[in-house]
């Protein structure tokens, strides 16, 4: 068999090995996605109930003042940018970073600060000397509240100290297993708790008083929003990786088909050459 055919067989073997890896990664990502989706579904009722409670409290205790509720002139903006620790997830990281850069625009770097979740975003901003106030990397594939509690508390406390005047989340929102979209979501101040609320408000008796209850619940609510965004981003990451590995496996199959066709043609060409040589030799002897 000619060298060309041997080379083709070697490439077929290499692509088959690669396709086995990408298929395994697709299956692993699908399993991780199911676990994170379960965590997202479990956290949503808690977040919804907490939001409903705070909306009722805000409506019935309008005289209560809290830094998380107060709007103030924007001199500095905070951004929580959530990316992955690894690649091999299609455009997952790139589209978040692209949205972040578009949002920053040509604004001076002193006008905003970044809270980075994920190595890809952290490294991207550090290489370009963007101001990073805090970071969290090496999160598990199924993050717990404890794993981001310190970052969430730091963000809330920094806002309360007026280190920045508004906070945005930049991350991939999970829509379904095949679709994720980068979003820019304003989170702080929490001045829109009662927006879209209809129906009668509940009457609460406060112990010890309204201000103490709001002071305890508002930071917890803001921290829970951070956790919910991290869960949503993780679900998007697993879905994006599953889709990317599925596409890679399909491309590998197509490449194997092309190589197999080339191998068959090479074999046919070798056989044709051998037959031609035999016929030529026979004709020369007669």
More confident residue, 49 or 29: 29
Predicted confidence at residue 282, as pLDDT, reads 62
What pLDDT, in 10s, does the model give residues 222-270?
Answer: 888 999 999 999 999 999 999 999 988 988 888 888 888 877 777 776 6
What is d(CA 106, CA 34) in angstroms, rounded to the nearest whole number? 40
Cis amide prior to 208 (ω within 30 degrees): yes
Average pLDDT over residues 86-94: 88
Q: What is the DSSP string of 177-231?
A: TTEEEEEEEEEES-TTTTTT--SPPPP---SS-HHHHHHHHHHHHHHHHHHHHHH
Q: How far apart are the first and last CA of the chain?
A: 29
Arithmetic mean of pLDDT over the chain: 83
The structural architecture, per CATH, of the domain 3-26+244-279 is Orthogonal Bundle (1.10)
Cis preceding linkage at 177, omega within 30:
no
Q: Is residue 16 classed exposed, middle or buried when 0-12, 13-18 and 19+ CB atoms within 10 A define those classes? A: middle
The residue with greater pLDDT, 46 or 76, is 76
Q: Is the dihedral of CA 30, 35, 37, 38 positive or negative?
A: positive
6-15, 92-101, 257-266, range with the lowest pLDDT: 257-266
Token pair belonging to 35: 């676990």
Residue 1 has what pLDDT?
40
pLDDT of residue 83: 93
164 or 214, which is more confident? Answer: 164
CATH architecture, domain defined by 29-243: 3-Layer(aba) Sandwich (3.40)
pLDDT of 64 reads 66
Query: CA–CA separation, 272 vs 200, rounded Å?
Result: 87
Q: Quickly state the pLDDT bin for 116 (edges 50, 70, 90).
A: very high
Predicted pLDDT at 168: 93
Q: What is the pLDDT of residue 24?
A: 92
Q: pLDDT tier at 4 (50, 70, 90 boundaries)?
A: confident
pTM for this prediction: 0.82
Sign of CA dihedral 184, 133, 131, 96: negative
* Predicted local distance difference test score (pLDDT) of residue 2: 46
Q: How much is the pLDDT for 81?
A: 94
Could you tell me if 166 and 86 are in contact, meaning their C-beta atoms sit under 8 angstroms apart?
no
Give me the pLDDT at residue 203, please: 64
Q: Which residue ranges make up each domain of the chain?
A: 3-26+244-279, 29-243
- Given this model, what pLDDT does residue 193 score? 65
């Amino acid at each position: 068999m000619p060298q060309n055919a041997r080379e083709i067989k070697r490439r077929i073997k290499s692509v088959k090995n690669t396709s086995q890896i990408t298929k395994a990664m697709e299956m692993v990502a699908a399993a991780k996605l199911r676990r994170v989706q379960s965590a997202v579904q479990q956290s949503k009722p808690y977040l919804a109930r907490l939001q409903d409670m705070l909306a009722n409290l805000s409506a019935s205790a309008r005289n209560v003042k809290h830094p998380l509720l107060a709007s103030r002139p924007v001199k500095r903006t905070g951004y929580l940018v959530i990316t992955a620790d690894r690649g091999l997830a299609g455009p997952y990281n790139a589209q978040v970073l692209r949205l972040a850069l578009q949002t920053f625009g040509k604004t001076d770097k002193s006008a905003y600060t970044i809270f980075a979740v994920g190595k890809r975003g952290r490294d991207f901003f550090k290489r370009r000397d963007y101001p990073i106030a805090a970071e969290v990397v090496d999160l598990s594939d199924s993050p717990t509240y404890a794993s981001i509690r310190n970052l969430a508390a730091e963000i809330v406390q920094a806002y309360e100290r007026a280190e920045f005047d508004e906070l945005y989340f930049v991350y991939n929102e999970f829509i379904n297993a095949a679709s994720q979209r980068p979003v820019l979501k304003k989170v702080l101040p929490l001045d829109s708790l009662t927006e879209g609320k209809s129906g009668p408000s509940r009457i609460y008796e406060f112990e010890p008083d309204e201000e103490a209850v709001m002071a305890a619940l508002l930071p917890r609510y803001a921290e829970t929003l951070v956790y919910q965004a991290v869960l949503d981003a993780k679900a998007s990451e697993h879905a994006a990786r599953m889709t990317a590995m599925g596409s890679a496996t399909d491309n590998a199959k197509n490449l194997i088909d092309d190589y197999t066709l080339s191998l068959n043609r090479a074999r046919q060409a070798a056989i044709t050459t051998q037959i031609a040589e035999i016929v030529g030799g026979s004709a020369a002897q007669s």
